[in-house]
Structure 1
Amino acid sequence: MLSLSSLPRSWRVCGALLAGTGTIMGALTTHLPEADFGPGGRLMAHGALEMQMWHALALLALGLTTRDRPTKPLVLGGCGLLLGTLLFCGGVYYTAFTGQHAAHVAPTGGSILILSWLCLAAGWVRG
């Protein structure tokens, strides 16, 4: 079971995994033929890749700088960064490769990312 004290380590691990899979997505986005993408998909995938890598770095930094028992706003912010990144980037990648929109997945992920950054800001102001 995940405890509050293990969250910073989990954020570091997840940040590293996001960066690693982002590197793979970068290679795919660069080298796959245009036919493997939906209309405008290569550019869309590149946008998702950038968002993924920035949030991977954010999770790594959060995991490296958070004390043993993070406050509730930091917990919400850090976990939200992970969930929001997965939903947003996953939805955008899906659309980029298939040309089909994944309902409200990407906008929901983007909204979670915005709220997560606000939680982090609140946690750091209070801390």
Structure 2
Amino acid sequence: MINIPSYARWFVRLAGISGASAVALGAYGAHVFYRREYPEELKQVYETANRYHFLHTLALLGVPLCKHPKLAGTLIVTGTAIFCGTCYYYALTGSKNVRQYTPYGGMLLIIGWLSMIL
């Protein structure tokens, strides 16, 4: 049996919350957002946000198995929130005022994945 520290199990709980919100936002996109007359670019940004939201939710499930779960989990949670959050915001509002932060979220996701190999 794998000995997983109790603090690392919180990332599994966060994955549950993140997964549920990704499904809810995906359903909103499919049933409300995509049916409206939005520019195609905004629909693609929304799809990208939702796809990355799901993928990094799954990554959180592997965090407790890492040697440094606090580091990897924190980077992935923060990167997902910044990257996906700014993409969702832009797609839903058309406002570009937070788009400047999207690359920082992406960099945190890359570093989070790399931290899993430490």
TM-score, reference length from structure 2: 0.84
Contact residue 39 and residue 96 of structure 1 kept, 8 A: no
The two structures, once aligned, show a CA RMSD in angstroms of: 1.7
- Amino acid paired to 1:91: T
1:18 and 2:18 aligned: yes
- Amino acid paired to 2:89: Y
SS for the counterpart of 2:90 is: helix
1:6 and 2:1 aligned: no
Please name the residue that 2:29 is paired with: 29
Gaps of 5+ in 2: none
Gaps of 5+ in 1: none
Aligned partners of 1:7, 1:85: CA distance in 2, in Å?
A: 20
1:46-85 to structure 2, matched below 5 A, reads 46-63=47-64, 65-66=65-66, 70-71=67-68, 74-85=69-80
1:115 and 2:114 aligned: no
Aligned partners of 2:99, 2:88: CA distance in 1, in Å?
A: 13
- Amino acid paired to 2:75: G
Q: CA deviation at 1:39?
A: 5.4
- Runs (4 or more) in structure 1 with deviation over 3 Å come to none
TM-score, reference length from structure 1: 0.78
Aligned residue pairs: how many?
Answer: 111
| Percent identity of paired positions between Structure 1 and Structure 2 | 27
